[in-house]
Amino acid sequence: MTDKQASLELVKIARSLVAKDLATPAKLRDGSWGARVVGKARRGQRIFIQAKGGRKWEATVDKVFWTGEDRYTGEIISLVSTESDKRSNEVPSSSRDRVCDECGKHSTRLVPCRDSSGIEGQCCPSCARGSAYERSFM
């Protein structure tokens, strides 16, 4: 084996180690979200999912729906449902997109308010009680 062949083999091994347990989000046939895992996945396997936007999280394979050759890349992949880790700082979905413009806290009860320069925004009840001259939205 020549040096060039040996280095190519090392590159292949390195790529397979890096790609192991990596996944991307995938929409499943039932409409729910799962993951597209590089390689053959198995139930209970820990995987690392990375979305196109850069968000990363760890999940556990719940069920393997399909394993086979990717029609675009030719590599072996698995489509799986996952159980994502629950993070202590995760906000309940009912208040996920509702954030106070003044303090940044999540709230299900936002009220319209203005800051000292007249800019309109949404405030949580505790910030709304304060004077408009005390608020400064950014």
pLDDT tens digits for 1-29?
A: 777 777 666 655 555 555 557 899 999 88
Mean pLDDT over 64-84 rounds to 90
pTM of full prediction above 0.85: no
Number of structural domains the chain divides into: 2
Q: Are residues 42 and 98 in the same domain?
A: no
DSSP conformation class of 132? G
pLDDT of amino acid 95? 42
Q: Are residues 74 and 108 in the same domain?
A: no
pLDDT exceeds cutoff 50 at 89 = no
The more confident residue out of 65 and 127 is 65
pLDDT exceeds cutoff 60 at 52 = yes
Closest by alpha carbon to 122, among 105, 104, 101? 101
Q: Are residues 101 and 77 in the same domain?
A: no
Q: Are residues 8 and 44 in the same domain?
A: yes
Q: Are residues 99 and 80 in the same domain?
A: no
Contacts for 48 with CB less than 8 Å, ≥ 6 apart: 21, 22, 23, 56, 57, 58
Structural domain ending residue among the three candidates 61, 84, 107: 84
Closest by alpha carbon to 33, among 19, 20, 21, 51? 51
Mean pLDDT over 100-111 rounds to 80
Domain, as residue range, for 30: 3-84
Q: Are residues 66 and 106 in the same domain?
A: no
Q: Are residues 76 and 16 in the same domain?
A: yes
